Structure 1
Amino acid sequence: MVVVQELTDALESALGVRSLVPLIQGGQKFVFTAVMSGQEVVVKVVSVPAGPQGDITRTRAHREVELLAAVDSPHVVKVLTDAVELTTPLEAVAWVEERLDGQDLGAILRPAWSDSDVRSLVSDLAEGLAACHDLGVVHRDLSPGNVRRTNLGRFVLMDPGLARHLEKTALTGNYQPGTDGFRSPEHVPGGECVPASDIFALGILAFYALTGELPVDAGAPDYQVKLTSVQAPSVRTKRLDVSQPLARVVDRCLQLQPARRYLDGPELLSDLEGWTD
């Protein structure tokens, strides 16, 4: 495991950054704030363990950067450098992303959001997902910690490190990641996430912002069974003042069967272009 204090010199040399300050450490990932070319940025570092698991970790880190570099949307965080491998033998992979102001949804996802705020959430993330889905990429972990609301009210999708490229399934195998409470029915063991799975997760975010409740209780012992067999309730059964157009969109996102949802971000975005009160 790489020691944080030992990373600074290597990161400054490899990425051209300075003034590194540790921000977050969790699991295999370290996050720093830094300055690059006079701009405040975020540096992400993924520790690479020895052995076969290290090969998987290295591949996922490079894939995350490749995905971010390929996506062009104001609603997906921007990567500013290639991924670089640190030390020999390999101990970590690092890269630089734009630094977003504001807060992650995990800090602010408290009811009851207004119709207009939830519309912005759905519209912005639909645009971000459309940019990913157009490239054949499924995010697979659209949860509060992976969405940021900037100070200007823009919602931005982050951290596609668990994403799955539909044409490169060997990179991720059959394992379905995600965050309890924000998983789709396709996240169960043996399932296969598709673009409509991200749509379901977006529906969960909107439902929770409006009601303060999850459509499927993640704390229940039969969570996975209910996730795959019980239709989520209409959002208007929990909050009557939600407008019909917004309720229609959220309810369709949360359809149990993928074919009954919006199939992907572009279809959802197209539908939103015409919604009215």
Structure 2
Amino acid sequence: MRTLAGRYELEQRIGMGGMSEVWRAHDVVLDRPVAVKLMSPGNQGEETSVERIRTEARSAARLVHPNVASVHDFGTASTLPGREAPYIVMELAEGETLAEHLRAGPLDWRIGVRVCAEVAAALAAAHAHGIVHRDVKPANVMLTPSGVKVLDFGIATPAGAPDHSPEGMVLGTPAYLAPEQFDRQPATPAADMYALGVLLYYCLTGRLPYAAGTTATQLVGARRRVTPEPLPPVDGLPPEVADLCHRCLDEDPLRRPTSLMAALLLAEAVDARVYVPMLASVPRQRSAPTSLWTERAATEVTEAVALDDWSRAGPA
């Protein structure tokens, strides 16, 4: 069994991407389960540089919110001679990803709106700290018995930070990227709101808001966003939720709503309570909580879907 820093025993790989892999691990010092995100070793100036990830991990570690998977630690592990692989130790959120749920089709609108309300609340807390997630998508939303946990804040970026990725590389999942991200503009909270709009659309309809046949290659190659289709009628959906989805998908970042506004509007639509920075001290009555996920109509998307199959299943 591999151990990092004499402390984190890697037990089982639970996820893998192009630039990292995530392990279920055991913290032998505090005797608790954790998630360890082990990044690919990078050269100086590359997106995986140790100092960049260390800085972003420190920023994310200050973010404490019930809908955010907390960052616990940062370190490096030796791989090839002269190469270091940074890793981030995070809270292990137990449950299933939204992507896994959406495989069965769209959610009941009340559940989908509540999920997105909690995602928006997590983003509101991050944006209040000047942090932009950059990769809001179903695979980064964990559904736990106590509610939503938004994952991967450990590789978020400060708001307004320039894109240092290599030329020709677009960071994030193409279907959830805002138009300005294709032009490598500095990351802003408005980019996260575009992704929230795509997420809300997907929860309500079971598909992405783009014409059938649209591929990742077409989205990236054109260096501009394909115009999203209008949200189709959803029986019982409050009109203000449909309007919010439309505004989140606006091409102009300045016309998108804020995460705080979205969290409050979506929570009000389903009479839920969300923890947002400005209203944390305002009490609100609600009935005893029940498991949100036992009521679900199912949903999510395969994480390993082929790019050209987006029109059928959608990306994670």
TM-score category (smaller protein) = 0.7 to 0.9
Q: Distance in 2 between matches of 1:178 and 1:209?
A: 19
Partner residue in 2 for 1:219: 215
Q: Distance in 2 between matches of 1:241 and 1:134?
A: 33
The aligned amino acid for 1:124 is E
Q: Deviations over 1:104-145 (max 9, x none)?
A: 222112432112211211210111101111122221111122
Flag the 1:226–1:109 CA change in 2: closer, same or farther, 3 A. Answer: farther
Partner residue in 2 for 1:70: 62
Offset at residue 201 of structure 1 (A): 0.7
Q: Deviations over 1:43-88 (max 9, x none)?
A: 2222323x3355843134313422320111111111122x112237
Contact 1:63 1:161 in 2 (8 A): no
Contact 2:56 2:158 in 1 (8 A): no
- Which consecutive unaligned segments of at least 5 residues does structure 1 have? none
Offset at residue 209 of structure 1 (A): 1.3
Larger RCO (CA within 8 A; separation ≥ 6): 2
Flag the 1:239–1:219 CA change in 2: closer, same or farther, 3 A. Answer: farther
- For residue 256 of structure 1, the aligned residue among 248, 251, 265 is 251
After TM superposition, the structure 1 = structure 2 runs for residues 15-34 of structure 1, keeping only pairs within 5 Å, are 16-18=7-9, 20-34=11-25
Partner residue in 2 for 1:100: 93
- Which consecutive unaligned segments of at least 5 residues does structure 2 have? 272-316
Partner residue in 2 for 1:196: 190
The farther-off stretch of 200-209 and 253-262 is 253-262
The aligned amino acid for 2:15 is I
The aligned amino acid for 1:35 is H
The farther-off stretch of 267-276 and 59-68 is 267-276
After TM superposition, the structure 1 = structure 2 runs for residues 233-272 of structure 1, keeping only pairs within 5 Å, are 233-235=229-231, 237-262=232-257, 264-272=258-266
After TM superposition, the structure 1 = structure 2 runs for residues 133-148 of structure 1, keeping only pairs within 5 Å, are 133-148=127-142
- For residue 52 of structure 1, the aligned residue among 18, 37, 44 is 44
How many pairs align?
Answer: 262
Flag the 1:273–1:30 CA change in 2: closer, same or farther, 3 A. Answer: closer
After TM superposition, the structure 1 = structure 2 runs for residues 119-138 of structure 1, keeping only pairs within 5 Å, are 119-138=113-132
Contact 2:162 2:186 in 1 (8 A): no
Flag the 1:66–1:252 CA change in 2: closer, same or farther, 3 A. Answer: same
Partner residue in 2 for 1:160: 153
**CA RMSD, Structure 1 to Structure 2 (Å):** 3.0
Q: Distance in 1 between matches of 2:241 and 2:144?
A: 22
